[in-house]
Amino acid sequence: MDEKRVTGVEEDRVDVMRDGLSGTVKAEFGAKHPAQERLSKDREQGIKTKREMLAATYGTYFPTKLMIEQEILSSFHRLPGLESEYVGLETLSKRDLDIDFCDVYGRPEDSAEFASSDLHHEMEKQLKLK
């Protein structure tokens, strides 16, 4: 029983030397902007409405087919530590046509201040070796 407690404590510990100081309370629990929450709810409602419209027009097969395609396209991942882009999924859902914050100002991962993580460390975290 003591071994479980020790292992749980080791898993919860933040490795500041590898991860940096990004694990602050503000970064982890920062509140979203109200407009961001509203946009995500509107996007979900729009997807639901579109599926209902496609089901009424083409039958229930077509929205199911689209959901299967989305699931397949969202299952492709890069190695840990590298961000997956999901280009096929964005094209299928037509999110590639939207202009986002990252399109205008760039991604935070591309900045000079962002410390890239070690591939071996990311694999260890994913496989729960350490």
pLDDT tens digit at each of 130 positions of the chain: 444 444 555 555 666 666 666 655 555 556 677 888 888 899 899 989 999 999 999 999 999 999 999 999 988 887 776 777 888 888 888 888 888 777 777 776 666 666 666 777 778 888 888 6
CA angle 31/33/37 to nearest 5° reads 100
Instruction: Give the residue among 47, 19, 7 at the shortest CA–CA distance from 122.
Output: 19
Spatial CB neighbours of 36, under 8 Å, sequence gap ≥ 6: none
Q: Is the pTM of this model over 0.75?
A: no
Alpha carbon distance 85, 76 (integer Å): 9
